[in-house]
Structure 1
Amino acid sequence: MTARDAGGFPVTRTPAGVVRSARSTPDLAVLDTRISGCYACPRLVAWREEVARVKRASFREEDYWGRPVPGLGPADARIAVVGLAPAAHGGNRTGRVFTGDRSGDWIFAALWRAGLANQPTSTHLGDGLELTDVRVAAAVRCAPPANAPTPEERDTCSPWLARELELLPRLRVVVVLGGFGWTALWPVLAAAGYALPRPRPVFGHGVEVALEGPRGPLTLLGSYHVSQQNTFTGRLTESMLDAVLSRATELAAPGG
């Protein structure tokens, strides 16, 4: 019988266990539950649970999720958006990726403008948000201290992302938010059988890389992350993000 935690999620406690659990996942719904029961990175587990216990003063009446945060979006998505990791008082609080923080305000508003979301805001579970033709996920599924996962934590978490992308049979474009996600994605794609260029393309906003793999062509698009240090300073503007997502929808369209 599979061990389960207090929330009823099947528990994974080691990097090897992540590999086994991810590889055997039959669909996105099961993947989401398995991700939610992951305890493979002790530092991240301690931090996410500490944040959920102490809470931010403005959210002290709320029950924090305090777990790994699964992806969001339909299995027939042609576009994937890959970020860094959940925010301590965003996804780690709400239980939904990019939901309830300033970064989420930016990405979901942009998805709405691109016709990929039914509303421009994402504040909490049950708020009515629905995505069309896009799946949003993170390279690391737990909120990290100082928003900085270690390379080891990135690698431990990578089988979850690898399997998530494999479970999107119509996937044609991956929009990568930030350099950390860009670096995290290459071994995932290599394991999936994509022929990768050498040397590896350097991350940058608007960088476009065309790949060929076992399921046909896949295009990577780079975008500066929707973090406040980029959006508040003007390094990333709405028009810059809109241009990347417009290119993504163009490439993902049938015959694109």
Structure 2
Amino acid sequence: MDGTGGAGAAPAADEPAFVAHHASRCAGLDELDGLVVRCRACPRLVAWREETARVKRAAFRDWEYWGRPVAGFGPADAAVAVVAVVGLAPAAHGGNRTGRMFTGDAAGDFLSAALYEVGLASRPESVHAGDGLALHGVRLTAPVHCAPPQNRPTPGERDTCRPWLAAELRLLGPHLRAVVALGGFAWQAVLPALREAGWQTPRPRPAFGHGAHVVLPATAPRRQSLHLLGSYHPSRHNTFTGRLTSAMLVDVLRLARGLAEATPPGS
């Protein structure tokens, strides 16, 4: 069903209902990723990502930009994905250019180097989709899958995109043990997505901070507890000013990996 038929047809890709309709029905990460890259539910983001892909940055004028939503990146087999790292949105000339989350910009290299140091990535750089980078036991995703103007999605765009994140967490759920939220935006977005995916989240909502650590208890649909950790986002502003150092990010990722490996099923 492509949304062009009559009553009962699925929403078209440019309708806001497309996201919630399809996300809740996905049976696997490959199916989810295929639907994410078709999405056109947010007109402002569609216009921006496509205009950026057409105009390009001078340094990348020979590139054919991706210019579409960027799906999560990491093992498609949920059995080996024990940690999820959640950022903000693809960068205009990073993920929007390369078609892979946290790839082709300074933030991606900063994160990849830290993942490599703790044994979660095969190489310390994330350059392009064919660079051979493989992730081990970790999946990278974002609350918003399209590059936004000024790197600032609106609350409405975040909420429209949320079912994709909730579905991704749900599909990772049987083996997911830790989630790392990179930045306050990711922290605020991932908590309701985790609730939609079946975990019990604290009320009032816990405050974000670098090194924040919240344990979500096991529930009937989620028979294991989940560790939610916070880290400053590896943006240029944070890394150039020293607000976030490599050692700080490595410490959070190392803790996430350790917690994930130490949390047995049903705990």
- How high is the TM-score relative to the length of structure 1? 0.95
> 1:178, CA displacement in angstroms?
0.2
Indicate the residue corresponding to 1:7 in structure 2: none
Of residues 208, 211, 234, the one that matches 1:206 is 211
Residue 2 in structure 1 maps to residue 2 in structure 2 = yes
Shift of 1:95: 0.2
Deviations 1:181-219 (A, max 9, x none): 111112112222322212111100000000023322001
Whether 1:240 and 2:248 are equivalent positions in the alignment is yes
Select the residue among 220, 231, 252 that pairs with 2:228: 220
Indicate conservation of the 8 Å contact 2:170/2:198, yes or no. Answer: no
Aligned to 1:184: 189
Question: In angstroms, what is the RMSD of aligned CA positions?
Answer: 1.5
Whether the aligned pair in 2 keeps the contact of 1:11 and 1:34 (CA below 8 Å) is no
Which deviates the most, 185-194 or 83-92? 185-194
Partner of 2:164: 160
Matches of residues 1-256 of structure 1 in structure 2 within 5 Å? 1-2=1-2, 12-74=13-75, 75-76=78-79, 77-168=81-172, 169-212=174-217, 213=219, 214-215=221-222, 216-255=224-263
1:50-79 per-residue CA deviation (whole Å, 9 max, x = no partner) reads 000000001011100000000011122010
SS of aligned partner of 2:225: strand
- Do 1:82 and 1:174's aligned partners in 2 also have CA atoms closer than 8 Å? yes
Separation of aligned partners in 2, 1:194 and 1:163: 13
Residues 253, 87 of structure 1: CA spacing in aligned structure 2 closer, same or farther, 3 A cutoff?
same
Structure 1 unmatched runs, 5+: 5-9
Task: Provide the rounded CA distance (Å) in 1 between the counterparts of 2:31 and 2:232.
Answer: 31
Letter in 2 for 1:248: A
Distance (whole Å) between structure 1 residues aligned to residue 60 and residue 3 of structure 2:
31
Residues of 2 paired with 1:190 and 1:15: CA distance? 21
Q: State the AA in 2 paired with 1:119.
A: R
Look up the equivalent residue of 1:108 and give its one-letter code. Answer: S
Which residue number in structure 1 is paired with residue 8 of structure 2? none
What amino acid sits opposite 1:185 in the alignment? V
Deviations 1:118-153 (A, max 9, x none): 111110111101001000001100000000000000
| Secondary structure at the counterpart of residue 220 of structure 1 | strand
CA shift at 1:255, angstroms? Answer: 4.1
Contact 2:19 2:160 in 1 (8 A): yes
Separation in 1, partners of 2:129, 2:35: 19
- Matched position secondary structure for 1:231: helix
Name the % identity. 61
Which is worse superposed, 209-218 or 238-247?
Answer: 209-218
**8 Å contact kept, 1:12–1:21:** no
Matched position secondary structure for 1:105:
helix
2:241 and 2:70 mapped to 1: Cα distance?
Answer: 28
Number of aligned positions between the proteins: 251
Q: Distance in 1 between matches of 2:200 and 2:134?
A: 33
Alpha-carbon distance between aligned partners in 1 of 2:262 and 2:170, rounded to the nearest angstrom: 19
Q: Distance in 1 between matches of 2:12 and 2:126?
A: 28
